[in-house]
Amino acid sequence: MLTLAGVLLALFLSSLDQTIVATALPRIVAELHGFDRFAWVATAYLAASTALVPVYGKLADMYSRRNIEVTAILIFLVGSALCGLAGEFGSLPLLGDGMSQLIIFRAVQGLGGAGLLAMAFIIIADLFPPAVRGKYQGYVGATFGLSSVLGPFLGGLLTDHGSGLLPGIAGWRLVFYVNLPLGLLALWFILGRMPRLRPRGQHKPLDYLSALLLMAGLVPLVLGLQLNKTQHGWTAPLTLSLFAAALLLLLLFVLRSLRSDNPILDLTLFRNPVFRAANIATFLLGGAFLSIVIFEPLFMVNVLGVSATRAGLSLIPLSLGVVGGSMLAGQMVARFGHYKRWMLAGGLLLLSGQALLATMPPTVSYEQVLLYVLLCGLGLGPCMPLYTLAIQNAIDPRLTGQATSASQFFRQIGGVVAAALLGTVLTMSLAQTLPPTPAPAAAPTELAIEGAPATVALAPPTPAVRAAFTHAISRVYLCTLCLVLCGWIATLFVPDLPLRTSNAVKSQPVLATQGAK
């Protein structure tokens, strides 16, 4: 349990960092004079963390889990300290000005953050057999929910009132420095209590070329999706060039992996029907989750006319729902088994909540939206632990690292793809319905960072603006409803296998497809 506490604390750091920085970003941009590059602060972290998740999974199958976790925490803490120092010493050779330094150091943070995300599920899989693992993986969902609530609040508090806590240090720098004591505490738990958790099976040299091709292909893919589509549309030369490079490099990765004895991701995993169907579902549901996070505050501000603070607070029911749904589903599976029925039940709740969001009229009340968002959170809660549990239960325990990190990767990349596509749907809808008047001033908020248009009304919205945003966001949520429905259908094809009561590896050779029958 002390090992679990350390792993969850490290995971809390990674997930907190994705929300706490967004709140502080307007102040950071103002002090570092980098408004033209503010979106890259999040894009650098996202590109690095997405590309490295599968790599950490493979390394966890080859080396001590504890060593990999400690390395990820140290990289993350070094990146945090460097981010806090960005711009303190003016422009630096090779690193550029303060804003460029921050972007580079955020990428370093992302290299460590990828490990904190991937290793949490992998280590929990080593500590507990599938039959009881669900209730412990439910704590992971609770950790994400807690960080999403505390992140914006803590970021605003430190940015606005933290300058006096440490003499000579701006409040926004504490947003990064706060990671250091928490990270050291996590290291104390892990180094003092965590077993080494050595890999199972034979050790083979890592295929570094397949790892390089995978990372090189994912980075341009994420960058192409994250580009501001109002400046670089889907058919712009830069966007098409990035997608073409990603496609070529990922194709080379697949060809290399099929020939390699020890690729970074064993492609035979895709023969397993649980692995295949569950990852399709997580890809789609990851997009649905990010859709709610991005577009619900836009509706609150531009239709209901609430303040940015109240719009941010309106996501708290989503987080509470995810926490409650995740922990409840984990407990129920650990007690009764049959993970599939809880996944399908969560999907039905999410479909109901998403349908209510998609049909909201301009006269909907603030409290009603909170209820709809809570319903979505309760439906999303089982998605975090149970799809991963189903995959881990169905594959050879010697491939747990690769299979688990692949699940996290598909969830993350699904959110990136959905944010980009749904942001385009919103932009096109607004262009058709908004009156031909000057657009409201855009604010550098988390919405812009995540790929959605940062069209946030600074004054009370006019009836025309309210009608335009109601129509546009309804279209976005109808598309999201289709994503959820497709994810629910994919879940129907996930076999409901009996949960193993042991993590032991069978003495005879075990294929990645074991359990498919």
| pLDDT band, very low/low/confident/very high, at 230 (cuts 50, 70, 90) | confident
In the predicted structure, residue 457 carries a pLDDT above the cut 50: no
Is the CB of residue 396 less than 8 Å from the CB of residue 512?
Answer: yes
In the predicted structure, residue 14 carries a pLDDT above the cut 90: no
290 to 137, 209, 284, 359, 495: CA distances (angstroms): 21, 32, 10, 19, 27
Q: Which residue has the higher pLDDT, 379 or 290?
A: 379
Is the CB of residue 229 less than 8 Å from the CB of residue 423?
Answer: yes
| pLDDT band, very low/low/confident/very high, at 225 (cuts 50, 70, 90) | confident
To the nearest 10 degrees (0 to 180), the angle between helices 383-394 and 98-127 is 60
Query: What is the predicted pLDDT for the residue at 505?
Result: 63
299 C-beta neighbours (distance < 10 Å), count:
25
| pLDDT band, very low/low/confident/very high, at 342 (cuts 50, 70, 90) | very high
Tell me the average pLDDT of the chain: 83
- Percent of the chain scoring above 70 in pLDDT: 91
Mind listing the pLDDT tens digit for each residue in 318-327? Answer: 888 988 888 8
Tokens of 420: 């980009």
* Mean pLDDT, rounded, for 76-83: 94
Dihedral sign of CA atoms 224, 416, 84, 116 in order:
negative
Query: What is the predicted pLDDT for the residue at 445?
Result: 35
Q: Check if CATH label 1.20.1250.20 holds for domain 272-501+510-517.
A: yes
In the predicted structure, residue 441 carries a pLDDT above the cut 50: no
Query: What is the predicted pLDDT for the residue at 459?
Result: 57
Q: Superfamily assignment of 1-196 in CATH?
A: MFS general substrate transporter like domains (1.20.1250.20)
Give the residue extent of every domain in the chain: 1-196, 208-265, 272-501+510-517
Mind listing the pLDDT tens digit for each residue in 258-274? Answer: 988 888 888 889 999 99
Q: Which residue has the higher pLDDT, 280 or 63?
A: 280
In the predicted structure, residue 242 carries a pLDDT above the cut 80: yes
* Pairwise CA distance, residues 202 & 58, whole Å: 13
In the predicted structure, residue 335 carries a pLDDT above the cut 70: yes
Query: What is the predicted pLDDT for the residue at 51?
Result: 85
* Mean pLDDT, rounded, for 155-167: 76
* Pairwise CA distance, residues 23 & 228, whole Å: 20
In the predicted structure, residue 203 carries a pLDDT above the cut 80: no
Q: What angle do CA 442, 444, 448 make, to 5 degrees?
A: 85
In the predicted structure, residue 507 carries a pLDDT above the cut 60: no
Nearest Cα residue to 450 out of 479, 420, 478, 428: 420
Length of the chain: 517
- Percent of the chain scoring above 90 in pLDDT: 29
Mind listing the pLDDT tens digit for each residue in 97-148? Answer: 888 999 999 999 999 999 988 888 888 888 888 888 888 877 887 787 778 7
In the predicted structure, residue 8 carries a pLDDT above the cut 50: yes
339 to 95, 270, 495: CA distances (angstroms): 49, 20, 10
Radius of gyration of the chain (CA): 22
Q: Which residue has the higher pLDDT, 516 or 168?
A: 168
